[in-house]
Amino acid sequence: MTTNFKGNFSATAIGSLPHTDADVACDIMFKSLPEIPCWPQLPRRSIYEDMCIQYTEGLPCSAVNVSEKTIKIDVSQDISGALEAFYDAYLKNDPDLFQVSRDYSVGFHAMIERLNKSPQKSIRAIKGQVVGPITLAGSLKLSTGITALYSEEFFDVIIKLMSMKAYWQFTKLSQYGLPVIIFADEPYLTSFGSAFMNIRRERAISALNEVYDTVQAHGGLTGTHCCGNTDWAMLMESKVDFVSFDAYEFMDKYLMYWREIKAFLDKGGYLAWGIVPTSSKITSVSSDDLVKKLEEGIQFLVNKGLSRTLIKERSIITPSCGAGTLTINEAERVMTLTHELSMVMKS
C-alpha cells in the first residue's frame, strides 16, 4: 500500500448529488471538500448517470432502456464476436478506449475543466469513483434471467470493464501531480454471505483486487464504500487502501472488527468515516453531535490499543453515503456539515 498520504481528517464525498447543473455541483464539491474534492454524479440529471448505468459504455451485448430506466444484456444471439471485440480492446491496455463520456458523467468533465482552469492550492488529493464490479454484476440481468454475477463470462467482463473505467479516471485525474484516490463502491456487499449473494469470499476478494491492482499499479490509491453492514474482515483482507463505512448508523458494527482494523492500519490502510448522515436525520443533527459520535468511535479504538496519532493520519471524513436521493437543501447541508466536521477534527 502507498502510505505517504496522510488523511488527517480531510473531507471527501461518496459522489452523488441531487443537482442537475454540473457547474453548481462542482462549486459545492470544491467549496465543501477543499482538500480532497471528488466529481459529482448527477442521477437526477439523466438516467445515464444512474450508478449502475454510468459505467456501462463498452459493455458487450448491452442496451439501456431509457423508458424503463434499466440496462439489459442480450445473450439470445451469438455473443462470441462481441466478447472477442471487448477482450481485444482490453488487451490493448489503452484507458482511452474505456472513457466515461460526457453524456454519462457531465460532472467528471466539468471537474476536469475546473481543475484545468483554476486549480485550488488547498487540494491535497483528488477522488474519483466507479461502481464496484460485484454491485454492477449483481444488478444487471442477462436475457436468460440470471444476473451477471452468476455468469462467469459476464462477471469477468464487468470486472475488467470497471478496472479500465477506474484506470481511465486515474489517468485524467493524475495529471495534476497530486495523489489520486479511486473508489469502487459496493453497496451490494451488504448482501454478502446471505442467500441473495452466493459467491465465495475468495471470488469477491479477487474481483475487487483486480480493480484495485489496475489503479495501484500506476501509483493510485483505492477505496470501497459500503453503505450498510457487511463482512468487513473480508474487505480489509483485500488490497483496498480506504475502507469507507457508514459511521453514523453502523459504527458499532464496524468497530466490532477492531482487531482487523488494527491490522489494516498497520499494513497502511485508511478509514473513511461516513459520519454525516445522508437521510432525513441530516435536518436535526449538529456538527457538535457528529464530533461527539466520531470521538467516541476513535476513543473505542484507542482503548483497544490503537494509536490516536495513527488513526488521525489514516482517517478521512465523508458523508455516510451518496446524497443523490436527498433534496437539494438536505444535500447541501450534508456537504456543509462534512466540511465543518473536518475543520473541527483538524483543529
Each residue's pLDDT tens digit, 94-133: 999 999 999 999 999 999 999 999 878 999 999 999 999 9
Residue 310 placed within a domain? yes
211 vs 188, which has greater pLDDT? 211
The yes-or-no verdict on residue 244 having pLDDT over 80 is yes
Return the percentage of the chain with pLDDT > 70, whole number. Answer: 98
Residue 5 placed within a domain? no
336 vs 197, which has greater pLDDT? 336
Rounded mean pLDDT of 179-206? 86
67-103 pLDDT, tens digit per residue, is 888 998 999 999 999 999 999 999 999 999 999 999 9
Residue 4 placed within a domain? no
User: CA 13 from chain center: how many Å?
Assistant: 9
pLDDT for the residue 38: 98
282/18 Cα distance (integer angstroms): 15
Q: How many CB atoms lie within 10 A of CB 64?
A: 17
180/174 Cα distance (integer angstroms): 6
Lowest mean pLDDT among 53-62, 193-202, 239-248: 193-202
The yes-or-no verdict on residue 220 having pLDDT over 70 is yes
Rounded mean pLDDT of 178-200? 85
pLDDT-derived band of residue 193, with 50, 70 and 90 as boundaries? low
Residue 49 placed within a domain? yes
Domain range holding 185? 10-346
- Number of domains composing the chain: 1
Residue 176 placed within a domain? yes
Rounded mean pLDDT of 142-148? 95
Classify 185 as helix, strand or coil. Answer: strand
Rounded mean pLDDT of 134-148? 95
pLDDT-derived band of residue 1, with 50, 70 and 90 as boundaries? very low
Residue 287 placed within a domain? yes
Residue keyed to cell 479511486: 182
pLDDT for the residue 196: 63
Contact between 231 and 193 (Cβ < 8 Å): yes
Rounded mean pLDDT of 170-183? 97
E strand segments, the chain: 10-11, 62-65, 70-73, 126-131, 141-142, 180-185, 221-226, 242-246, 270-276, 315-319
Strand order in the sheet with 70-73: 62-65, 70-73, 141-142
Contact between 102 and 57 (Cβ < 8 Å): no
User: CATH number for the domain including 229?
Assistant: 3.20.20.210
pLDDT for the residue 3: 56
255-302 pLDDT, tens digit per residue, is 999 999 999 999 999 999 999 999 999 999 999 999 999 999 999 999
182 vs 3, which has greater pLDDT? 182
β pairing state of 180-185 and 126-131: parallel
272/183 Cα distance (integer angstroms): 11
Residue 254 placed within a domain? yes
Q: Report in angstroms the alpha-carbon separations of 209 from 41, 159, 216, 239, 258.
A: 24, 10, 10, 6, 22
With a CB cutoff of 8 Å and minimum separation 6, the contacts of 251 are 245, 275, 293, 297
At 4, list the grid cell: 505517504
Among 238, 164, 255, smallest CA distance to 204 is for 238
Residue 46 placed within a domain? yes
On average, the pLDDT of the chain sits at 95
pLDDT for the residue 274: 98
